[in-house]
Amino acid sequence: MRSLSEIETTAKRASRAIGFSWGVSEEIAKSIRLLELFGLPGIKNINQYFEDKKVKKFENLNLITEKNLLSSDAFCPVTLGVSFLDQVRSLEKLKKIQFANVAYPIIFLSFLSRASEVIGKKIFITIDDNKILLNFNVSISSNFINEKFPKFGKNIEIEFIENQDNFTDYEWKNLYNLSENTFVEESDSLKQGAAGAGLTDND
């Protein structure tokens, strides 16, 4: 079994060989490593993407807006992913972001997962009819994970989820009140045994 370090190093070199700068190649490598870590087909999809890149033209999107539509070619998942990471601080202010026709959306997905960690928010994604939740670059949740990822995502919608507790105030207070049973009242013996107590000044 290949190590994650070996996967990242090889993906970086292959990306540079295909024509990307060393900086972008490093970003690709991190994303492929992440996909493999989560048990997703990163190596398989980046290989297929590189093969297609030799003969097909993918559209580079450098400035992302609320609605990103295309007239012909599919968006390049790498350029799109790098742009999203670079702009995520401003993009999170938008309620929803839409993309039409993204090539190899699983590659783009890995950049989005990293973006979730950068802003400290969960990101909810719809790829056509498939729904995916990214959790701070720690996990990817979806009933779509075990199925084959599409080569093209015709309609992709991204939504930033504001952080909030998954429990009510009542539930929290109930748990906190129970935890108070472990608190020990301070007694004279505890005071004497506390740090610094009982020390004798020999001067």
User: Cβ neighbours of residue 181 under 8 Å, at least 6 residues apart?
Assistant: none
Residue 149 pLDDT: 85
Task: Give the model confidence (pLDDT) of 168-197 as tens digits.
Answer: 999 999 999 999 998 876 566 555 665 555
- For the chain, the farthest-separated pair of C-alpha atoms sits apart, in whole angstroms, at 88
Backbone angles phi, psi at 199, to 5 degrees: -75, 140
Token pair recorded at residue 60: 């580079």
**List of the chain residues with pLDDT < 70:** 71, 145-146, 185-203
Q: What is the pLDDT of residues 139-149, one digit of tens each?
A: 988 877 667 88
